[in-house]
Amino acid sequence: MTASAGSPPARVAVVTGASGGIGAAVAQRLAADGMAVVVAFAGRRERADEVVDAITAAGGTAVAQQADVADETAVAALFDRTEELYGGVDVVVHAAGIMLLSPLAELDLADLDRMHRTNVRGTVVVDQQAVRRLRTGGALINFSTSVTSLALPTYGAYVATKGAVDALTMVLAKELRGRDVTVNAVAPGPTATPLFLDGKDQETIDRLAAAPPLERLGQPEDIATAVAFLAGPGRWVNGQVLLVNGGVAR
């Protein structure tokens, strides 16, 4: 719901990668939970505006803000604007990321550099601002992947970047001792997003959908529910990488 006139919203969330897929679902879920949401995006202004429109049409509060997550100046400006608009930051969900798949023997190192810039440097840059600015009772939620455990072929370079996210998440949880701020990561399994479905034939999609005991692909809303738990009532979960994959075996 929207905040009453003249008063700040109860809680404020910044969601990166929020112009589509899981990030958009997270932004809409947190807004439905009563948070004001800053929909951060890299280059898809129209899609970010669509997410904002969906939130406001449902009675929520949201604004779009462009930021390259690997650019420390742009990310600082993202947090500055959030504080100017809403008075502070309570939840940061870093959902921005890219995935480029290849067997290691055939890997284009330029693809590795692209993933490292967004997935590793971007996480460091966003998390640095988050830990400097999150208010008491806040939550930082990074995005990892279940493939770090599943060890699927062609995912090597990608999971290398996400392994860095896992390690950083656990370190930050300890560095924030005494702040009453939780730091966790969610690790989705196969989820029906454009990022996941791109380039996969139907046979591959069907095989991956059959892997979980629940026998379906995850939906963005499934991941958003886990994020909402960590951002809200899940205060005793801290320094964890939460596998959100329908029970896919390691």
**Token reading at 139:** 């939550």
Q: What is the C-alpha to C-alpha distance for residues 229 and 133, in angstroms, rounded to an integer?
A: 21
Instruction: Report the phi/psi class of residue 59: left, alpha or beta, with left for phi > 0 and alpha for psi in -120 to 50.
Output: left
CA 54 vs CA 27, 61, 101, 120, 162: distances in Å: 10, 10, 32, 30, 30
Instruction: Report the alpha-carbon angle 140-145-148, nearest 5.
Output: 125
Which listed residue (158, 165, 182, 193) is catalytic?
158
158 is catalytic: yes
Q: Where are the alpha helices (DSSP H) in 141-240?
A: 147-150, 156-175, 194-197, 202-210, 220-231
End-to-end CA distance of the chain: 40
Catalytic machinery residues: 158
